[in-house]
Amino acid sequence: MDQPVREAAELLGRARRVVVFTGAGMSAESGVPTFRDALTGLWQRYDAQALATPEAFRADPALVWGWYEWRRHTVRLARPNPGHRAVAAIQARVPGTVLITQNVDDLHERAGSSDPVHLHGSLFAPRCSACAHPAPTPDDAEGEPADGRRVPPPDCARCAAPVRPGVVWFGEALPGAALEAAVEAASSCDLLVTVGTSGLVYPAAEIPQVAARLGAAVIQVNPEQTPLDPIAEVNLRGPAATVLPALVD
């Protein structure tokens, strides 16, 4: 076990109140493309940040709904990777560990993690764009939802307005209860492990910084440098599915 991994394993062994904070890199090895390095499909022709907005949905609901159908289909085909399972192992080993994720997939839940705090919502919680009435998660659109194919959103059963994805779009406020729970956990932990996030999107990117400011040790797992490097006591430069299991073995 190389030095930084040993150091990180010791920090984890001594920690009493742990937070695990994950971004899209957590699911990369499950085949779920991240925003930044996904030069595939729609993302080549459209900037994801431009598509993940209320304006884009208003302008072209079928294009945006079709994009989320395709992303949900990709997640349904994906399987949790050893990194997701290592996070669940940390939760089992250190009772009270709080998992906070920016991801809208359900791979943490499928790996056995309990109650992840979804700061940016979920692909599996569509709701009415007008009255917020929860809508059923549709099965995959007939045939394989092809990347970039328009799929008109279903109508709300209650008010007939278009159903929207249950995610937080750019320019939208995060769910108050989720953000509050995340800040509360980050403010009272003694160790925060941040995995697979570029640390660029706010206010989520504040979470590891709050923990560091209040004296928690921070371990970062990311193959690349990020703005969170300076607050990390240990920077583990590698992919989540390899590095995290080494931490819990």
> Distance between CA 26 and CA 20 in Å, rounded?
11
| Residues known to be catalytic | 120
The two three-digit tokens of residue 114, written as one number: 């309990």
50 scored as a contact of ligand BV8 (CB under 6 A): no
Tell me how many residues contact Zn ion (CB under 5 A): 8
158 scored as a contact of Zn ion (CB under 5 A): yes
**131 annotated as ligand-binding:** yes
35 burial class (0-12, 13-18, 19+ CB within 10 angstroms)? middle
Q: Provide the minimum distance between the beta carbon of 172 and ligand BV8 in the complex, in angstroms, as a whole number.
A: 6
Residues 64-103 that bind ligand BV8 (CB under 6 A): 102
Q: What is the DSSP string of 126-172?
A: EEETTT--B-PPPPPPSS---TT---PPPBPTTT-PBEEEEEPPTTS
- Count of CA atoms in the C-beta half-sphere (13 A) of 184: 10
**224 annotated as ligand-binding:** yes
> Count of CB atoms within 10 A of residue 159's CB?
12
Please list the residues that pair with 117 across neighbouring strands.
100
In the list Zn ion, ligand BV8, none, the entry touching 213 (Cβ below 5 to 8 angstroms by class) is none
In the list ligand BV8, Zn ion, none, the entry touching 210 (Cβ below 5 to 8 angstroms by class) is none
Q: Cα 21–25–31 angle (5° rounding)? A: 135
Q: Pick from 59, 77, 131, 214 the residue near Zn ion by CB under 5 A.
A: 131
CB closer to ligand BV8, 183 vs 190: 183
In the list Zn ion, ligand BV8, none, the entry touching 197 (Cβ below 5 to 8 angstroms by class) is ligand BV8
128 scored as a contact of Zn ion (CB under 5 A): yes
In the list Zn ion, ligand BV8, none, the entry touching 128 (Cβ below 5 to 8 angstroms by class) is Zn ion
* Contact characters 208-227, ligand BV8, x per CB under 6 A: -------------xxxx-x-
What would you report as the CA-atom Rg of the chain, rounded to the nearest whole angstrom?
A: 18
Evaluate whether 18 touches 193 at the Cβ level (below 8 Å).
yes
Output b/e per residue, 96-113; b: 16+ Cβ within 10 A.
Answer: ebbbbbbbbbbbbbbbeb
Q: Which residues bind ligand BV8 (CB under 6 A)?
A: 23-25, 28-29, 34-36, 49, 52, 102, 104, 120, 167-173, 196-198, 200-202, 204, 221-224, 226, 239-240
Question: Which residues participate in the annotated binding site for NAD(+)?
Answer: 102-105, 196-198, 222-224, 240
Question: Which residues participate in the annotated binding site?
Answer: 68, 71, 102-105, 128, 131, 156, 159, 196-198, 222-224, 240
